[in-house]
Amino acid sequence: MQKRKLGNSTLEVSALGLGCMGMSFSYGLPPDKQAMISVIRAAVEKGVTFFDTAEVYGPYTNEELVGEALAPLRSQVVIATKFGFNLHPDGKPGWTGLNSRPEHIKQAVEGSLKRLQTDVIDLYYQHRVDPEVPIEDVAGAVKDLIGEGKVKHFGLSEAGAQTIRRAHAVQPVAALQSEYSLWWRRPEAEIIPTLEELGIGLVPYSPLGKGFLTGKIDENTKLDATDFRNTLPRFTPEARKANLALVDLLGRIAQRKNATPAQIALAWLLAQKPWLAPIPGTTKLARLEENLSAAAVELTAEDLREIESAASQIPIEGDRYPEHIEKMTGR
């Protein structure tokens, strides 16, 4: 597995990381914990060094899983986690609001360190921008944690260009985590040029469109009642049917390249910028192997032009999130 530097930071990670959220949270009933530990450890064996979690996933259980899986391999890996929500006191899934007050961040880091069974977090993201707390205060709090040796690098998630600039002026931002894929390209307008200018890495989450770009989902696919995709406008049966045009495009290229639609979607992302490291998630060993093989798929300039030209003709149906969640994207 090739390595990539996230922007101008010293943070080097595998070209493809592993998003661990779905191992405990969001996509229906959580799978068996021991099976998930096996998948995480198999990823390390296959060269993955970059693992992503957050305190809100579960809540807490995903950090515990990642901590247990990676404890014996800690020196070989980069662990990213996130703060920024008030969580239910009884441990119920979900959150009760945003909270990036400095005192809350300093409390949250202690819990994450304990659950992750580590004495330092490699990359600590603000999960969503908190409009009630100046981003300078957030960056200052993480700067303090870096000074104390509890955190190595500061990250933001779904922040806008203004917020990124203001935070970066207080404490250099190593990476921005945002959704980016062939079916969510909004970061190309303002975010990616800002990151390039400032030397900040990009970590695309949902690089396979929450599973849609794998080609395994159509308008008739039945999702588990607890699967959060049931709440997404882009996953209504009508939107899924319309959006299959994009999957068909990936399928055509995949056939020519002796690859899968998922591998083409990931190879396309990897070809965008050398300082970008996607974090596809999976709970299955076979899918892990498929995703990681995308790093070996070479798309020529002509392939990329063809994808660009065809994709620009395909309107994507449905918003990616309900309005109340989309509003949590920073400015």
Cα–Cα–Cα angle for 284, 62, 37, nearest 5°?
Answer: 45
Asked whether 233 and 239 are in contact (CB, 8 A), the reply is yes
Helix (H) or strand (E) holding 7: none
The tokens 């920024």 sit on which residue?
A: 84
Half-sphere exposure of 254 (CA within 13 A, CB side): 21
State how far the Cα of 105 lies from the Cα of 116, in Å rounded to an integer: 16
State how far the Cα of 19 lies from the Cα of 79, in Å rounded to an integer: 11
Known catalytic residue at 180? no
The CA dihedral of 244, 250, 253, 255, to the nearest 10 degrees, is -70
DSSP 8-state assignment for residue 125: E
Q: Which of 306, 211, 310 is nearest to 261 (CA)?
A: 211
Grouping H, G, I as helix, E, B as strand and the rest as coil, residue 171 is coil
**Active site residue ranges:** 57
